[in-house]
Structure 1
Amino acid sequence: MDLIRASAGNNPHTLTADPRTCRWTTDFHDPLGLGIAVFHNTAPAYLVHPEHGGSGIAPGTWLVRRQQERGTGPRTRSVLVVD
């Protein structure tokens, strides 16, 4: 499953797992508004990125969020990061 699809020069972020070991949903509430998906895996899964390879994900339930950077100073604001 592509959590983030490649478009406009961005890199895809793909979740991979063995059959029947990972379930995901987009039906959830994230108070920060950064959530992409929630998934539950019963065996190791991997988040694959073309520049970084695969990152192993231990069995569990996970909320996947977009990356956010915060500025400093009196005019602090949050900015979504484009990969």
Structure 2
Amino acid sequence: MTTLLEATQSTGVKVLDYLDHEADVPVITKAACQGDVSVFRTDAPAATTPMPKTVMVVRSEASTNTHTLHPAGECFWDYNKTASVTDLALGTLTVADGSKALLMHQEHGGIEIGPGTYTVGRQREFAGEWAYVAD
């Protein structure tokens, strides 16, 4: 298990003080949501572009906080280049066996993503009309 302190040290993302830095970061292998970002395991083709040290997934609309992905081992990220403005799928993440990726956010902490291929996207909500979740 990775603690939040270890995750912040390895990614360089600073999280807010009220979060328990000694808590274990949850590990997912199927699905999770963090603020306005969703991560769902998929049978889609694997991503093929080696992931850089940091991938900005979604910049927060309500603050300067940003959701970022960070590889720990061999990971791949393909942006959804054909996405329209209303498309929820932002990209495909593939985490190789023996590796992990960390989804980090200053207010939410971290989520560790285990081996597999995932669709990473935006969340939306319905309140009389469809809108992106504001985080």
The TM-score, its normalising length taken from structure 2, stands at 0.49
* Greater helix share, structure number: 2
Q: Displacement of 1:79 after TM fit?
A: 1.1
Q: Percent of aligned pairs with the same residue?
A: 34
CA RMSD, 1 decimal: 2.3
The corresponding residue for 1:17 is: 71
Deviation string 1:25-67 (CA, Å, 9 cap, x unpaired) is 114667x721111110111111001011111111110111101
1:5 aligns to what?
A: 59
Query: Partners in 1 of 2:64 and 2:120 — Cα distance?
Result: 17
Q: Which residue of 1 aligns with 2:89?
A: 35
State the one-letter code of the partner of 1:39.
L
Distance 1:82 1:7, change over 3 A: closer
Q: Which runs of 5 or more structure 1 residues have no equivalent in the other structure? A: none
- Structure-2 separation of matches of 1:18 and 1:70: 35
Structure 2 letter corresponding to 1:54: G
What number of residue pairs does the alignment pair up? 77
Aligned to 1:26: 79
SS in 2 for 1:51: coil
C-alpha contact (below 8 Å) 1:10/1:82 kept by paired residues: no
Cα drift, residue 9 of structure 1: 2.0
Instruction: Tell me the TM-score normalized by structure 1.
Output: 0.75
